[in-house]
Amino acid sequence: MQLRKVTAASAAVLALSLAATACGGDKKDDNGSSGGKKIAIGIKFDQPGLGQKTPQGYAGFDVDVATYVAKKLGYGSDQIEWKESKSADRETMLQRGDVQFIAATYSITPEREQKVDFAGPYLLAHQDVLLRADETAIKAPKDLNGKKLCSVSGSTSAQNLKAKLNLKTDLVTYPTYSACLSGLQSGAIDALTTDDSILAGYAAQAQFKGKFKLGNFKMTNENYGIGVKKGSDLKAKINTALESMVSDGSWAAAVKKNFGPADYKNEPAPKIGDVKS
């Protein structure tokens, strides 16, 4: 009888131990590792060609880059927890530990580097304009003078053109890039402006094939980096993964896959730490 009591007590202790292990197994540390092998990654959910949530899953260049990096860190695609990282929330999400890293058209700037660290850059984009495919009057930035230029509400893209290039455009703001595209297609506006990578992503969608073209004006430099929590050793590990992605051809393949239909004239893969001003 005494033996049975001891055995029952031991079993109870073992059960409690296993339960505690199971409860704590999925807790992630700053380096993205966990007993449950899960990693949280921030991306955009609404940018075709870069980061988009679709009925089939998640797609885009940033998604492909993040998936490659996660694999090099020891995580399969089924072990990734994708989280929407809106522009205004990115620093807070990293500081709070909601995600281990963010790949979401995240331009490296001195102001942001005060709050988070960046691996990369992994893509050099430029501010550009999207035009109708049959547009012939707009061949250079100066040709935008007097034209109706669309940008998204709250964006600084159109203001950049006025401040840096002294262009006098008729600015029209819509709530979304999709609304700007509709206006461009109908002729209500003459051009849409934001990063060329974002524009290429929209233009590459099947329903817009052959309807738009990029100006290829390269009006500003946008160095996309992968954001990590300040002081995290993930930065060095991600940089190593990005170098591998370029050297084995996966980076070029991802560019062609996501931007090819828009005839996107991308810059060569940037060197790690080479941030163009």
Q: Across the chain, what does the average pLDDT equal?
A: 87
What integer pLDDT is reported at residue 178 of this predicted model? 85
Residue labelled with tokens 């738009």: 212
27 assigned to some structural domain: no
158 assigned to some structural domain: yes
203 assigned to some structural domain: yes
Residue (of 63, 74, 177, 83) closest to 130 by Cα position: 177
How far apart CA 183 and CA 76 sit, in angstroms, is: 41
What integer pLDDT is reported at residue 11 of this predicted model? 44
Q: Are residues 147 and 167 in the same domain?
A: yes
How far apart CA 41 and CA 269 sit, in angstroms, is: 22
251 assigned to some structural domain: yes
Number of structural domains (the chain) is 2
Residue ranges, the chain, pLDDT below 50: 1-29, 32-34
Q: Are residues 87 and 141 in the same domain?
A: no
SS3 250: helix
What integer pLDDT is reported at residue 154 of this predicted model? 62
> pTM above 0.85?
no
Alpha-carbon distances, residue 251 vs 66, 236, 245, 266 (angstroms)? 11, 18, 5, 12
18 assigned to some structural domain: no
Q: Are residues 195 and 130 in the same domain?
A: yes
What integer pLDDT is reported at residue 141 of this predicted model? 92
Cβ(224)–Cβ(125) below 8 Å: yes
Q: Are residues 155 and 199 in the same domain?
A: yes
Q: Which domain holds residue 82?
A: 39-124+222-262
How far apart CA 11 and CA 244 sit, in angstroms, is: 49
Q: Are residues 103 and 131 in the same domain?
A: no
Q: Are residues 119 and 143 in the same domain?
A: no
How far apart CA 193 and CA 79 sit, in angstroms, is: 36
Q: Are residues 148 and 256 in the same domain?
A: no
Residue labelled with tokens 């031991």: 10
Residue labelled with tokens 């988070």: 116
- Give me the helices (H) in 57-175, please: 61-72, 90-96, 110-113, 157-165
> For residue 206, which phi and psi values (nearest 5 degrees)?
-55, -40
Q: Are residues 69 and 146 in the same domain?
A: no
Q: Are residues 201 and 229 in the same domain?
A: no
What integer pLDDT is reported at residue 23 of this predicted model? 41
168 assigned to some structural domain: yes
53 assigned to some structural domain: yes
Distance of CA 243 to the CA centre of its chain: 18
What is the CATH classification number for the domain harbouring 66? 3.40.190.10
Q: Are residues 170 and 136 in the same domain?
A: yes
SS3 19: helix
Reported in sequence order, the residue ranges of 111-190 that DSSP labels E, i.e. its strands, are 116-132, 148-152, 170-174
70 assigned to some structural domain: yes
Q: Are residues 76 and 112 in the same domain?
A: yes
